[in-house]
């Protein structure tokens, strides 16, 4: 659906040249929710603006649905942009227009008749959960409602791609989750390809299928969200994963485990995807003569499944403990054994 080759953007300033995006390559499949994450200054906002040529690239190419966006003249680009919706961090609504008229605005520009505009706007208002608010003004809406208007406006022309530029950064956590749920719903109902940039791993974890990590204008790591959570390679990726999986009490808990449990074996179990539903602990208790103490654990959910970590103690006869550990390893649960954590 989206193919990006050797994409670069250099900003020329009075004092220096700034390489915002540096030879970026990316493939995004149709119907995918693709997350791009990076800290401030990583180049992600410039990257997403390059996708609809709000910024022109210095080098490289962008193909969307087999059309080379980078080679289009202004007239053809205007038409191509009708198939690329965009929502923004600070909503970018027209404050003198009602909800209805904000959503209708791109349809007016496209030359749609008023009767068709009104029908389409009502469909979109219903889709984003704003029924009855069509005649309200932005100043009368909450942050989440404003973003819903922004999403409806971005969908007005039935785009093939929806670009989300830090779409939830200005919202509180509960409202963020409701907007993310709406994006998932839209993705599933319309089969829409969504490219979402953020600095919050919670956003990636909750709705994205694939993720790319940006640093200094480059993609330093990419892949399936669950794989990136499980096996982060780069330092910056590990910092992002810690946003969700990090546990400020973990070190204290492990020190307490060391001090309290002097016998048996301490295991760290990693449950992945459907494995999180396995009754492993109860099965071990029934099948082996070992005492199982659950010491510390955490679980998180991604679009591709759950990931959980559990610290347990196996106590009992040495041979029986070994048999229980071997049984764990025979399942698809990953096992790390350490007598002293």
Per-residue pLDDT of the chain (341 residues; tens, 9 = 90+): 899 999 999 998 888 899 999 999 999 999 999 999 999 999 999 999 999 999 999 999 999 999 999 999 888 988 888 899 999 988 899 999 999 999 999 999 889 999 999 999 999 999 999 999 999 999 999 999 999 999 999 999 999 999 999 999 889 999 999 999 999 999 999 999 999 999 998 899 899 999 999 999 999 999 999 888 878 899 999 888 887 766 555 555 666 666 666 677 888 887 776 555 567 888 898 899 999 888 877 777 777 667 777 888 898 898 999 999 999 888 878 888 875 54
Q: Same structural domain for residues 28 and 175?
A: yes
Q: Same structural domain for residues 75 and 202?
A: yes
How many helical (H) and strand (E) elements, i.e. helices and strands, does the chain have? 12, 14
Closest to 124 measured CA to CA, from 104, 95, 146, 97: 104
Q: Same structural domain for residues 173 and 271?
A: no
User: From CA 6, how far away is CA 240, in angstroms rounded?
Assistant: 25
Q: Same structural domain for residues 76 and 185?
A: yes
Q: Same structural domain for residues 95 and 190?
A: yes
Quick one: which H or E segment has residue 242? helix 235-245
Instruction: Supply the pLDDT for residue 341.
Output: 43
Instruction: Supply the pLDDT for residue 336.
Output: 82
CATH number of the domain enclosing 301: 3.30.70.260
Q: Same structural domain for residues 234 and 301?
A: no
Q: Same structural domain for residues 176 and 52?
A: yes
Q: Same structural domain for residues 255 and 232?
A: no
pTM, entire model: 0.81
Domains of the chain: total: 2
User: From CA 30, how far away is CA 36, in angstroms rounded?
Assistant: 16
By residue range, what is the domain housing residue 271?
Answer: 250-338
Q: Same structural domain for residues 87 and 23?
A: yes
CATH number of the domain enclosing 25: 3.40.50.300
Which of 244, 268, 289 is the last residue in one of the domains?
244
């Amino acid at each position: 659906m989206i193919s990006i080759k050797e994409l670069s953007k250099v900003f020329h300033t009075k004092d220096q040249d700034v390489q915002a995006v540096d030879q970026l390559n990316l493939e995004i499949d149709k119907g995918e929710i693709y997350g791009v994450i990076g800290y401030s200054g990583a180049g992600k906002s410039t990257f997403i603006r390059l996708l609809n040529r709000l910024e022109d690239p210095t080098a490289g190419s962008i193909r969307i649905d087999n059309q080379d966006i980078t080679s289009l003249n202004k007239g053809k680009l205007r038409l191509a942009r009708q198939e690329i919706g965009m929502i923004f961090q600070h909503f970018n609504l027209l404050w003198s227009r009602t909800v209805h008229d904000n959503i209708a605005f791109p349809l007016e520009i496209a030359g749609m008749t008023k009767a068709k505009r009104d029908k389409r706007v009502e469909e979109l208002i219903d889709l984003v959960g704003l029924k009855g608010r069509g005649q309200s003004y932005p100043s009368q809406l909450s942050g989440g409602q404003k973003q819903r208007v922004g999403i409806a406006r971005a969908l007005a022309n039935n785009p093939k791609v929806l670009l989300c530029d830090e779409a939830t950064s200005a919202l509180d956590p509960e409202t963020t989750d409701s907007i993310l749920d709406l994006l998932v719903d839209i993705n599933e109902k319309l089969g829409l390809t969504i490219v979402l940039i953020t600095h919050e791993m919670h956003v990636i974890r909750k709705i994205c299928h694939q993720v790319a990590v940006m640093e200094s204008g480059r993609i330093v790591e990419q892949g399936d969200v669950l794989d990136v959570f499980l096996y982060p390679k780069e330092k910056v990726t590990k910092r992002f994963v810690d946003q969700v999986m990090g546990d400020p009490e973990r070190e204290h808990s492990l020190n307490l485990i060391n001090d309290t449990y002097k016998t048996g074996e301490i295991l760290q179990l990693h449950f992945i995807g459907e494995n999180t539903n396995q009754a492993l602990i109860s099965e071990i208790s029934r099948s082996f003569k070992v005492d199982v103490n659950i010491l510390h654990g955490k679980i998180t959910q991604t679009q591709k499944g759950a990931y959980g970590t559990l610290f347990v103690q196996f106590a009992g006869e040495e041979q029986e403990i070994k048999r229980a550990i071997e049984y764990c390893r025979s399942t698809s649960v990953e096992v790390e054994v350490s007598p002293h954590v």
